[in-house]
Chain A
Amino acid sequence: MSGTYDVIVIGGGITGAGVARDLARRGLSVLILEKDDWGGGTSGGSSWMIHGGPRYLEFDWRTTQRSCEDAGKIVTAARHLVHRVVFLLPILPGAKHGLEQMETAMEVYDRYQPLKHSNAHARLSAAQARELEPALAPEVVGAVTMEEWGVDPHRLTWVNVLDAIEHGARALNHSRVEGLLVDGGTVHGVRYRAADGSRAEARARAVVNAAGPWSAQIAAMGRAEVKLRPAKGIHIIYDRRISNFAIESEAIDGRSLLCVPHGAFTLLGTTDDDFQGDPDEAEVSEEEVDYLLQGFARVLPDIRAFRPVRSTVAVRPTLHRWRPYEDDLSRAYRVIDHGENTSGGPVGLISIVGGKLSMYRQMAEETSDAVCRQLGIQSACTTVEPLPGNESEAPTPAAIADRLGISLLSGARALSRHGTRVEAALTGAGTSRVLCRCEALTEAELIYCARNEMVTGLDDAFRRCGLASGPCAGGGCLSRAAQVLGMELGWSQGQRIEAVEDFLRRAWPKRQPVLGPAGWAQEELDYARRQNLVRS
């Protein structure tokens, strides 16, 4: 499995995937390595937003402008994966920012909204705000609206990897880098353990460290230094869209909290706390869940009556700064060419650290520019071009349902994942049987993902096609999914059972802290199903 490349990219989050895509499109030979699955770390644990950075308006309008420009480019390239998110920003008496201040900020933000194809704000009286969201707290005195874009970061990461592959890159998930090959102060490549457990080396003229919160460890392998101030953030995920509008609230410490509908669920977050441990070991605590609910109940008093189904936890690779509170830390990013570093780091290693999902394309472009400078290559960035699945106008759900004999819901959900490639995703396996009834996922799509999207386990399928992401968390579909995937991947019966148990074991720490009465009732039913006490 050894090989030689122009560039090796370490890390298959959105930044690494963006870098791999950018460099592959410039004609470089690229290997990208991800220790887990594409978008399975910080990217997947984000708030699923491509936003323009309204918070920067307080100190730097230019940053807001640049952020909106790049958000516009991402939205254009990934049109099939994004959806409009309309925020209600309710104002409570005594709020940090009153209605006039909030509207002023939105008036300024409106200047940049066209850059990302978004609409201007609206100002609402309390009664008007309640027309849009009837359950707002009676204390709300008014609101303004703000428009952003939502995106599935797992799919966004994957289509970046896919585009890299289609431009000649080699991509390996479940392949952990165990060391850098350093010789005479120059990084020549990496040692890694592949998905099958074998160990291999790969050589390259440049190595990009895009490992997010793990980037300090990767840099240390090359005797280089990356200083981070990692921050942990959790989100609560609800079983359904609580509203068609996103809502903002304020936590007890003044931090902004968001409750955002995405697809068939709602995501509420986030926390922002210094985290010094192993990012792989970050956990969700009941105190963090309470912090979010307490803050949100001020504007949506019935939030505790909704049904959380799971949570997410991720560690942000925030740039190091001494003194500021976590929430005041900038989401700025840095491209570090360690060979140019005055501390005498190794030549051939470039790290990209900090940043956020909304800036990934720009971060990738600057990193790729640095790689090209180092290699003496002159080639322009072309990542504004459409991503896979957005090459032309996608068919309608009705057309898909008609042609393939599936439900409109299955067609619509698959369209939101595959865009123009939906027909290939649903026809290749010759079956239209529904696998996951909560998500209207078909067996054909799972098989397509195994054959074409590097899905090698149930966790990968959760990210790539939403398997087991509904309210029953796989209670009704995991066993069958393991059979379907097992047949495709050659698993034994024992491996299929093990795959289900492994999925449930890994999911449980993110489910247990948020389950309410309905969640526990579901657990009882799912347990009975697994024991064959009742039929699925």
Chain B
Amino acid sequence: MGMSALLNEASALVATYREKNKVIDAALAAAVKAAPELYKIFYVDAVLGDDATGTGDKTKPFKTVSKACSTIPYGGGGIIYLADGQEFVLTADVKIAKKNIAIYPTPGYLVKPTLRNICLPAGTPGFSAGSSNMTTGFLVEGSVLVLRSLRIRTADYVEPAAPVMNVYTGFIRRNDNHCGTIHADMCDIELGDTRFMRNTINGQLAIVSLYSVKVTRVGPVVTNTPLFELDGTPLVLSVGGMTLPAGATWLNDLLQGVRLDANGLPRNVLTNIIL
């Protein structure tokens, strides 16, 4: 092959490379553009918001916390701002899997927004047959959930006289998987008939921190509702500046299901408080 032919061959090769490079660059740019943005900021307004037409933007807020949580992408995170003083009811379970979510009042708020879960009557699909008062709540799986400056009201029994109570109650529950990390600060937790957190069975570890949280018991049926129900499941619990009901104690009262060894030492709770 002569020199001229070699040059032609080389030029063709370079041209082919450049063309392929353009295709690859374009494909890469398209892929990056198509990837979801993992960090989100959403606004939720129970009165003015709309889950169907809202975008979660400040001017087009969602209506429910559930919609905001589900819109945060798997593996992502963000902040959900709740409208000043409004009540947000969890009418169904809110599953948070592999997400990092913080729920705050909208900046400049005057009254803490209320997050409330509810009990559901027997016969609700998904219930154990014959049991009643399963609650809705956050089902947390390998996630971080931060609650700040909120009023949290746990559910009252919807069927107080039911012969069999469903065990799946809790404003926060683990979702048959590693639970994750829960943090609440400057919140008022009002315990109705059902507990704040239930993390039981199968040994899933939960890490919970509470700071400057006020807990009250408001019943109306259960007047000694625990904050946590563990049934021996491991919990790492860090608390500071807690204001609790008069006469309350941590062990076997606010914190139930603690497993003690022969020396009376807790084996499933690692905590900074003296139980």
Same complex for A and B? Answer no
Residue ranges of B at the interface with A (Cβ–Cβ < 8 Å): none
